[in-house]
Amino acid sequence: MSAAEIDGFADRIRQHRGGMISAWIGIPDATLANHLAQEAFDAVVLDMQHGMWDMPSAANAVAQVRLAGKPALARIPVGDFASASRLLDAGASGIIAPMINSAEDAQAFIKTTKYPPLGERSWGPSLALNHTGLSADDYLKNANALTVAIAMIETRAALEAIDDILGVAGIDGIFIGPSDLSIALSNGDQVAPNAAEIDSAMQHAVSRCRSHGKFACAFAGDGERAGELLKFGFDLVIAGAETAQLRSGARRAINAARRIASA
């Protein structure tokens, strides 16, 4: 995939061109990111909130994912908007910001991820220029369109303020964190990301996104759940974290070996 095709990710997701499936990686290893990017994922997300990535390893992984022909996105730690602009400078195609609970939170997020007139992103995209092949002037003119700013909806307050959040200029879409949302909606009683109440909330979120002309993304624990969420109308879903996929693959290999050896 060419740089132009990789950087066409933002247009594809904004235009709802079929459900996309992304890898999700918390282990801070750029080689692992490159390996998963070789599979039929549409993108790779680096989880810097609960994963172990730091800025140098994340920037290296962005390059490795792009080298494999895929767009890289990153979920930043809560409130770490300074890292958001640095990741875009490194060539990330989008930023997922957790715990965006109000229009004010969304505006603070956009301030560092979009150039004027939408935000106040500081200039310094040296690696992004290398990756995209654009001149400085062309990058400045096109960066807001080439990258996406995604607000996470994962609390009761965020769900109640979803229209206000989606109404902020520069917010391209939302990402539902169903585990945190289930904790919030149950007042801390349970982690139940696949509960009926969460299904209802997620379908409501998709509906609100459509009303605002924005896209919707969500985390799913496995491929089956990811397929269900695509049927709900989500534009991009996660089909499980790399740790779960790694352990599941190891378990299948071990069980197969034991089964054949004992036959």
Task: Kindly give the confidence (pLDDT) of every residue in the chain, 263 residues in length, as a single tens digit, with 9 standing for 90 and above.
Answer: 788 889 999 999 999 987 999 999 999 999 999 999 999 999 999 999 999 999 999 999 999 999 999 999 999 999 999 999 999 999 999 999 999 999 999 999 999 999 999 999 999 999 999 999 999 999 999 999 999 999 999 999 999 999 999 999 999 999 999 999 999 999 999 999 999 999 999 999 999 999 999 999 999 999 999 999 999 999 999 999 999 999 999 999 999 999 999 98
pLDDT of residue 17: 82
* Residue 50 annotated as catalytic: yes
CA quadruple 204, 207, 211, 212: dihedral sign: positive
User: For residue 195, how far is the Cα from the chain centroid?
Assistant: 22
* Predicted model pTM: 0.96
Using CA atoms, how far residue 258 sits from 248, 252, 253, 255, in Å, is 15, 10, 9, 5
Distance of alpha carbon 16 from alpha carbon 31, whole angstroms: 30
pLDDT of residue 39: 97
- The backbone torsions φ and ψ at residue 51, rounded to the nearest 5 degrees and listed phi first, read -85, 180
The distance in angstroms from the start CA to the end CA of the chain is: 45
Using CA atoms, how far residue 146 sits from 1, 6, 142, 208, 228, in Å, is 16, 10, 6, 23, 29
- The backbone torsions φ and ψ at residue 80, rounded to the nearest 5 degrees and listed phi first, read -90, 65
Distance of alpha carbon 97 from alpha carbon 76, whole angstroms: 6
pLDDT of residue 2: 82
Distance of alpha carbon 174 from alpha carbon 148, whole angstroms: 10
Q: Which of 50, 131, 204, 212 is catalytic?
A: 50
pLDDT of residue 4: 85
Residues with Cβ within 8 Å of residue 212, at least 6 apart in sequence? 163, 166, 167
